[in-house]
Amino acid sequence: MLIYIFEATAKDPQRRSLMEIIFHKCEFVGEMAALQIMQQSLLNECYDKIEDVLKECIEAGQLPAALNTRQAALLMRGYVNGMMESWLFTPDSFDLAATAGQIVEALLDMLRLSPTLVTTR
């Protein structure tokens, strides 16, 4: 089901527009298209910075040498954004402060242990 959701969003222009409105609270047409281009540039810089930190962690022996750093950066940002969005939307649903350590450890476990995040070089 999750694969379908991702693929449909990427391939179906109507679904993509709907998801953009839901997630961004606006539609990127006309003047808003320029804002979208600017945000995309900033987002790419964000991924680059996350990748740099991941590479430093690899060099320090904290993460696997064959970690796909771009994929890991995408997943990290999505994970953090999703956790923040979930908590901000319904702060009574879980105690973010009390579970912060466990949330971060789960993310680090994913980066350290996921065979799917290993590149073949």
The DSSP-derived string for 59-74 is: HTTSS-TTB-HHHHHH
pLDDT of residue 41: 73
Exposed/middle/buried for residue 67 (C-beta within 10 Å: 0-12, 13-18, 19+): buried
Q: What is the domain-level CATH number for residue 85?
A: 1.10.357.10
Greatest Cα pair distance, the chain, in angstroms, is 47
Rounded Cα distance between 29 and 87, Å, is 30
Per-residue pLDDT of 11-43, as tens digits, reads 888 887 777 777 666 665 676 666 666 666 777
Residues 14, 20 contacting (CB under 8 angstroms): no
Q: Is the pLDDT of residue 5 over 60?
A: yes
Residue 90 pLDDT greater than 80, yes or no: yes
Q: Where are the alpha helices (DSSP H) in the chain?
A: 2-11, 13-24, 31-59, 69-89, 96-113
Nearest to 46 by CA among 54, 56, 34, 35: 54
pLDDT beyond 80 at 118:
yes
pLDDT on residue 55: 97
| Residue 96's pLDDT band (cuts 50, 70, 90) | confident
pLDDT recorded at residue 49:
92
Higher pLDDT among residues 65 and 119, named by residue:
65
2 pLDDT tier (thresholds 50, 70, 90): low
Query: Is residue 77 predicted with pLDDT exceeding 70?
Result: yes
Query: For residues 18 and 3, what is the distance between their CA atoms, to the nearest angstrom?
Result: 18
In the chain, the number of structural domains is: 1
pLDDT higher than threshold 90 for residue 7 = no
- Residue ranges making up the domain that contains 106: 2-117
- Using the predicted structure, report yes or no on whether residue 6 has a pLDDT greater than 70: no
Phi/psi for 35 (5° steps) reads -65, -40
